[in-house]
């Protein structure tokens, strides 16, 4: 439903969630800025992931590695040689396209069976890296450039997705001066594997988690924060004994799905997609896909990475990446030295924001026989809402603002509150619905008499009288769920 997708994008801009980057200069393609509510929402998701993965799993610790890494890192990881996609340029429009995106977009517009046949053919050619075949496929199907409408294509070529930049002096000292903006956070974990294991006295199995920016020079179709050039990943590498990867892979598939369901999103909005064609580092891999308004798409990847990364870092750095396992093996003797295997869980923070927004967004018709009415409401789980409580004195006089201010002061150190005294109460409620605030509290004249306030619930719009002194505890309880 592309209309819903577009409506969410407009809503995000209008209510201070997400803006195109450097918008006054017409924006920068596939780069976005989070506004006052978007950054709160994103932070709440990040914090929830972090707490769930580290605090609630005693054998997982977190780190925060630098974005810049030694250039050899990316040779060892395979990114210099393998992190590329086949692309094609249109000679007339000078536009560059990822071949798979170009063909997928064309297939989407075809009748179902024809589209599927085209994609199957594409998959085969991609797997064989048959670039001439891919070009022929594009030409035979008369696939046009979306900008110029012509099909005057160059040959298909590989382009690396990493951004390179110069480090230190910029005077043509050759490739040694090149550093990359990391295309994934995982390598910062691998190169620190022994630092953390030794200083933290970690015993296998254990995990290292990290949240941070990653950069990829994606060739994009317009997909909002779904595919960005600068984005944030939340990754965890779980180090295990070789031979146990099947069990741990299954364990993490299930465990990560539990996290997704704990966001209050129903199970039928998700599906697993097992990879048939595996990345260069994996012996099993799947995606968790969510049913976005633009269809089922990947939010998270779970990968059994074997000892690929640690083994390569050992080879390139000439530093041992081994772990000594003192536990007794089947023959009673310790397992001894080995390079651990790794299960990775890798989720995009921005895609998760997009998922939470898509799930929460609802346009409701509230018309009655007397008058037409509607609202847009973001039904976030309270723990993720940017603002938890709106405090609204009914009038700007009679001591009502003072009581409201006292409540604000009581609550604001514990959770995010929003104070507003302008406009009708109905308009104020609507604005809070639009940013997903779960509770509004109204202070009126009765408050002065009996110490009660009206609390209004976002989703049901039900209003109740409760004691002013119970407000804080009620909100705190709701955001812990």
Question: Which residues are at the interface with ligand ATP (CB under 6 A)?
Answer: 184, 216, 218, 227-228, 231, 233, 298-301, 346-348, 350-351
User: Rounded to the nearest 5 degrees, what angle is found at the Cα of 408, between the Cα atoms of 403 and 414?
Assistant: 145
Binding site annotation covers 226? yes
Residue whose Cβ sits closest to ligand ATP = 348
Pairing of strands 463-467, 178-181: unpaired
Note the helical H segments in 342-464: 349-360, 400-411, 425-435, 445-450
Bridge partners, 481 (sequence order): none
Q: Which is nearer to ligand ATP, 83 or 323 (CB)?
A: 83
Q: Least CB distance from residue 349 to ligand ATP, whole Å? A: 8
Q: Least CB distance from residue 18 to ligand ATP, whole Å? A: 13
Q: Least CB distance from residue 458 to ligand ATP, whole Å? A: 28
Binding site annotation covers 3? no
Q: Which is nearer to ligand ATP, 285 or 411 (CB)?
A: 285
Binding site annotation covers 349? yes
Binding site annotation covers 234? yes
- Residue 127 has a CB neighbour count (10 Å cut-off) of 10
172: left (phi over 0), alpha (psi -120 to 50) or beta: left
Q: Which is nearer to ligand ATP, 227 or 313 (CB)?
A: 227
Binding site annotation covers 345? yes
Q: Least CB distance from residue 128 to ligand ATP, whole Å? A: 19
Binding site annotation covers 230? yes
Q: Least CB distance from residue 232 to ligand ATP, whole Å? A: 8
User: Rounded to the nearest 5 degrees, what angle is found at the Cα of 253, between the Cα atoms of 251 and 256?
Assistant: 100
Identify the DSSP state of 419.
E
- Answer for the pair 100, 85: CB distance below 8 angstroms, yes or no: yes
Q: Which is nearer to ligand ATP, 300 or 307 (CB)?
A: 300
> CA 162 to CA 279: how far, in whole Å?
17
Q: In the chain, what's the furthest Cα-to-Cα distance?
A: 82
Q: Least CB distance from residue 74 to ligand ATP, whole Å? A: 14
Q: Which is nearer to ligand ATP, 42 or 227 (CB)?
A: 227
Per DSSP, the three-state class of 399 is coil
> CA 455 to CA 468: how far, in whole Å?
9
Q: Least CB distance from residue 282 to ligand ATP, whole Å? A: 10
Q: Which is nearer to ligand ATP, 164 or 408 (CB)?
A: 164
> CA 231 to CA 45: how far, in whole Å?
14
What does the buried/exposed string (b/e) look like for 38-71 if buried means 16 or more CB atoms within 10 Å of the residue's CB?
Answer: bbbbbebbbebbeebbbeeeeebbbbebeeebeb
Q: Least CB distance from residue 297 to ligand ATP, whole Å? A: 7
Pairing of strands 284-292, 270-274: antiparallel
- Answer for the pair 56, 47: CB distance below 8 angstroms, yes or no: no
Binding site annotation covers 439? no
Q: Which is nearer to ligand ATP, 181 or 443 (CB)?
A: 181
Q: Which is nearer to ligand ATP, 184 or 444 (CB)?
A: 184
- Residue 89 has a CB neighbour count (10 Å cut-off) of 17
Per DSSP, the three-state class of 450 is helix
Binding site annotation covers 421? no
> CA 199 to CA 219: how far, in whole Å?
41
The dihedral sign for the CA sequence 203, 206, 211, 216: positive
Binding site annotation covers 184? yes
Binding site annotation covers 247? no
Binding site annotation covers 346? yes
Write out the binding residues for ATP. Answer: 216-218, 226-231, 298-299, 348-351
Write out the binding residues. Answer: 98, 184, 216-218, 226-235, 298-299, 344-351
Write out the binding residues for substrate. Answer: 98, 184, 231-235, 344-348
């Amino acid at each position: 439903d592309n209309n819903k997708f577009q409506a969410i994008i407009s809503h995000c801009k209008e209510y201070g969630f997400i803006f195109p980057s450097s918008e006054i200069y017409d924006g920068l393609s596939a780069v976005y800025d989070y506004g006052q509510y978007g950054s709160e929402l994103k932070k709440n998701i990040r914090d929830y992931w972090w707490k769930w993965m580290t605090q609630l799993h005693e054998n997982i610790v977190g780190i925060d590695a630098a974005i810049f890494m030694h250039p050899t890192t990316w040779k060892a990881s395979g990114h210099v040689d393998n992190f590329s996609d086949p692309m094609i340029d249109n000679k007339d429009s000078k536009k560059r396209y990822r071949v798979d995106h170009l063909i997928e977009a064309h297939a989407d517009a075809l009748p179902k069976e024809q589209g599927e046949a085209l994609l199957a053919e594409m998959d085969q050619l991609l797997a064989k890296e048959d670039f001439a075949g891919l070009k022929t496929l594009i030409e035979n199907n008369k696939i046009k450039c979306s900008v110029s409408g012509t099909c005057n294509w160059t040959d298909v070529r590989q382009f690396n997705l990493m951004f390179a930049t110069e480090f230190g002096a910029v005077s043509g000292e050759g490739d040694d001066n090149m550093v990359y903006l990391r295309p994934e956070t995982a390598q910062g974990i691998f190169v620190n594997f022994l630092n953390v294991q030794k200083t933290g006295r970690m015993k296998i199995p254990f995990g290292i988690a990290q949240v941070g920016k990653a950069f990829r020079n994606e060739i994009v179709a317009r997909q909002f924060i779904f595919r960005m050039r600068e984005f944030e990943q939340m990754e965890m590498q779980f180090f295990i004994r070789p031979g146990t990867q099947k069990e741990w892979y299954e364990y993490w598939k299930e465990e990560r799905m539990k996290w997704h369901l704990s966001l209050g999103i129903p199970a039928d909005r998700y599906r697993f997609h097992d990879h048939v064609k595996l990345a260069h580092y994996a012996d099993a891999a799947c995606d968790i896909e969510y049913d976005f308004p633009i269809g089922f798409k990947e939010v998270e990847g779970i990968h059994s990475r074997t000892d690929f990364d640690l083994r390569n870092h050992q080879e390139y750095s000439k530093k041992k990446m081994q772990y000594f396992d003192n536990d007794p093996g089947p023959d009673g003797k310790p397992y001894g030295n080995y390079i651990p295997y790794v299960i990775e869980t890798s989720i995009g923070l921005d895609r998760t924001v997009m998922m939470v927004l898509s799930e929460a967004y609802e346009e409701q018709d509230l018309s009655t026989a007397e008058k037409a009415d509607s609202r847009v409401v973001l039904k976030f789980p309270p723990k993720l809402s940017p603002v938890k409580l709106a405090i609204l004195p009914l009038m700007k006089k009679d001591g009502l603002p003072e009581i409201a201010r006292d409540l604000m002061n009581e609550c604001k150190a514990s959770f995010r509150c929003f104070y507003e005294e302008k406009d009708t109460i109905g308009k104020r409620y609507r604005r809070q619905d639009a940013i997903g605030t779960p509770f509004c509290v109204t202070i009126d004249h009765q408050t002065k008499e009996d110490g009660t306030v009206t609390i209004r619930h976002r989703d049901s719009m039900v209003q109740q009288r409760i004691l002013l002194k119970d407000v804080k505890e009620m909100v705190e309880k709701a955001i812990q769920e």
